[in-house]
Amino acid sequence: MLPNSNLFVPRIWDFCKRSTIENPPRHVVFIFCTTEIHKVPETIISRCQKFDFRRVGLETLVQYLSEVAQNENININAPGIWAIVKSCGGFIRNCLVLLDQLSNLGVDEITPNWVWELSGVVPEHDLLTLTENLAKGEVTANLQILQDLIEYGKNPFVIYSSLTGFLKDLLVAKTTPDNRQITQLEEETWLELVTISQMWELTQIQASIALLMSRQQLMRDSEAAKLWLEATLIELSNIKQEKQPWTNWKTIQDAINWGKEQLPHLSQSELERHWNNLTPIKGKKAPAWVQLVQELQMKFQLQTA
């Protein structure tokens, strides 16, 4: 078995092709392992049987770690195991290593707080608070949370990545609040996120994710990462506080005309039908109309992609 075969230089592949792949010994099977199949030459792939292995499911991994913890007499609660799986991205070896490290802490019970502390992952309750503060425009509170996380040893790039992923989950919560299974969030966190999503407009979430993605390269600069993250949090608050489109509407026709600008593929009669069937949000049709138009935009984009 040859692991990390994507690191082989062309000379090694040429040697393998001549001496083993084209004329292998009858009693030997060569297994080339890689997670980057695109780096393996096509001349090699075409001469091998290719097997794609998928990542172990989260539920299966949680069950496996629970059995390991029980066999090794490690006292860890169920949320703690889930925290290990999520912080390690579902990789079995990383989960086992982290579980082993946690078992040496000498605590009575391993909880998610210990997992977050040791793994460097940003706790979900902090991400919920950051997201809610962004919705409320509380910049100072978010900057204080950022400062506290960094003082506790969290890497700025990890904070940035966690916030980006959490805003993606916020987008899912906003568009399909019944699809928790496509995220890795626990039910309690998901329900809170669905509630917070009502404070956001769809376009604001999309703009926030786009802003974070545009800062990816800048955030990799370890020396200035904290500065860029602080500046980005301030900009995200500005996105949330942008003027809503309905502030310029005086009649129903103004709202429908705005919808026509966003959805040019729909006819006037179709837009009027959508407006008439609209369910108000807190007694107001304008925010419900903006939300519906944004959802129709996303569906159209997915259909034409």
Give pLDDT tens digits for 27-84.
888 888 888 888 888 888 888 888 888 878 888 899 999 999 999 999 999 889 988 9
Angle between helices 92-103 and 58-71 (to 10 degrees): 30
φ, ψ for residue 110, nearest 5 deg: -85, 125
Residue 117 structure tokens: 């502390």
The set of residues, in sequence order, having a beta carbon less than 8 Å from that of 248 and lying 6+ positions away, is 254
pLDDT interval class at 201 (50, 70, 90): confident
Give pLDDT tens digits for 126-142.
999 999 999 888 889 99
Mean pLDDT, the chain, whole residue set: 86
pTM: 0.66
Separation CA 99–CA 56 (nearest Å): 17
Q: Considering only residues 28 and 277, tell me which one the structure prediction assigns the higher pLDDT.
A: 277
Instruction: Return the closest-CA partner of residue 193 out of 213, 166, 211.
Output: 166
Give pLDDT tens digits for 144-200.
999 999 988 888 998 999 999 999 999 999 988 888 888 888 888 899 999 999 888
Side chain identity at residue 71, one-letter code:
N
SS3 content of the chain, % helix, strand, coil (to 5): 65, 0, 30
pLDDT of residue 106: 83
φ, ψ for residue 281, nearest 5 deg: -105, 115
Angle between helices 285-304 and 252-262 (to 10 degrees): 20
The set of residues, in sequence order, having a beta carbon less than 8 Å from that of 122 and lying 6+ positions away, is 116, 149, 154, 158, 159, 162, 163
Percent of the chain topping pLDDT 90:
27
Highest-scoring range by mean pLDDT, 94-98, 182-186, 218-222: 94-98
* pLDDT (average), residues 223-237: 86
pLDDT interval class at 243 (50, 70, 90): low
Residue 223 structure tokens: 């020396």
DSSP output for 172-204: HHHH-TT-GGGS---HHHHHHHHHHHTTS-HHH
DSSP 224: T
Number of helices (H), then strands (E), belonging to the chain: the values are 16, 0
